[in-house]
Amino acid sequence: MPSTHRAARTASAALALATAFGITACGSSAGEGVAADKKQTLTVWAMGAEGEKLVDVAKAYEKAHANITVKVTPVGWDVAHQKLVSAAAAGTLPDIAQMGSTYLGEFADLGVLEPVDTKTFTEKDFFPAAWQGGVVDGQVYGVPWYVDTRVLYYRTDLAKKAGIDKPPATWAELQQAATAYQDKAGAKWGLSIQPRGLDTVQSFYPFLFSAGGDIVDKDGKAVFDSPAAVKALKEYGTYFDKGLAKKSVQPGYDVTKDFNSGDVPMFFSGPWIMTLLKDSYPDLEGKWAVAKIPADQASVSWAGGSSLVISKDSEHKAAAEKFISYLTDTKGQSDWFERTADLPANTSAWDSGKLADNPNLQVFREQMESSRTTPTLAEWTEITSKVDAAIESVTQGKASAEDAAKKAQSEIESLVK
């Protein structure tokens, strides 16, 4: 779940570090470099579990491409940002790097990424939000590798006890369900949503986007004090006001434990949770399901995931492009899902096999069609920290939604000017 990982260092601090090392916005190019059919070694950095799995894919690729050696370096998400910044500053980025959705704007801004050849990789092959996650100022820098989005997980067995015969499809139905789970099914809480702390905004995005709100609009203007954003913030806060959601959770809180016990009957999360539930709580099989995000104006979730980028200084761009094509075409995406359970960014990979046959996975596909990505701004981590603070002030009863949004708006405006 790479899009949920962020370095403690803010984007502006990273930019300051890069500037200190002498990176300029224009970057440099290695020209044509080595032809794709020549003998060469490709260097690739991939993060977390993906880094480990990609080693095996690289070996399979080498067997079919005798002239290519693919050297994959797995990098932990906890050090990924620092490692990428340092490599960019030193001019030692790998030929190909996996880049989480919150990083790409920053590194494009530094001028160290090669623009994507949009004749080789076309927007129509990918989910709209996944493709847009690689676009900065109208230029494409990342090829979507895999996606994730948030949907609603809910206990179907407890729903029957609560008199709920279908998943909630609207905000009103979600709150009614949360109340019924508590009152009639013995749940301690109605819904788990993050009350405060780093990246609380990720729990808030489904409310914000479904209300038609934004933090920064497509023109780069701060709009967090809009009626839609305030409405979403107020709705989010009501779950804590009414005792339907916990006001405090420990760092690293594992919602699946409370989901298993029945204390928490509903929560929002990504596709990796399905594997976790299957492996850790096999007795829950058949007692839970997923549904699209309950709608206000529409059902809109947040799209995360990772893209693959090529270093502007790489001397192996042609070979790098071919390897990325291998990873992101229909066959490569299906193979990657089988190995990792990461959801394909290429929509054609969803039309056959396990992806097509699993109704829960198809909910994720439907949700991805209307999901939105966040702006690829170098300052995004700083911007969302202001939203995190606003959400906390509301969930902890320290400020009204209007006042919290107004304060965050002022702070965000100073960052985007």
pLDDT tens, position by position, 56-69: 999 999 999 999 99
Same domain, yes or no: 119 and 250 = no
Over residues 85-94, mean pLDDT: 96
Would you place residue 96 in the very low, low, confident or very high pLDDT band (cuts 50, 70, 90)?
A: very high
Of residues 29 and 89, more confidence is placed in 89
Torsion of CA 7, 74, 313, 146, to 10 degrees: -80
Same domain, yes or no: 179 and 278 = yes
CA triple 247-4-337, angle to 5 deg: 130
Q: With contact defined as beta carbons under 8 Å apart, do 355 and 334 qualify?
A: yes
Q: What is the mean pLDDT of the chain?
A: 91
Structural domain boundaries, residue 97: 2-148+304-370
Over residues 347-366, mean pLDDT: 92
**For residue 10, pLDDT beyond 90:** no
d(CA 1, CA 328): 18
d(CA 367, CA 370): 6
Torsion of CA 386, 391, 393, 394, to 10 degrees: 150
d(CA 381, CA 358): 35
Same domain, yes or no: 242 and 337 = no
Which residue, 373, 370, 401, 372, is CA-closest to 387?
401
The CATH code of the domain that includes 180 is 3.40.190.10
Give the number of other Cβ atoms within 10 Å of residue 417's Cβ: 8
Same domain, yes or no: 26 and 77 = yes
DSSP secondary structure letter of residue 116? P
Same domain, yes or no: 295 and 397 = yes
Of residues 26 and 181, more confidence is placed in 181
Same domain, yes or no: 291 and 316 = no
Same domain, yes or no: 208 and 176 = yes
Q: With contact defined as beta carbons under 8 Å apart, do 386 and 411 qualify?
A: yes
Give how many domains the chain has, as a whole number: 2
d(CA 179, CA 358): 30
Say what the pLDDT of residue 207 is. Answer: 98
pTM: 0.85
Same domain, yes or no: 80 and 140 = yes
Same domain, yes or no: 227 and 278 = yes
Same domain, yes or no: 155 and 132 = no
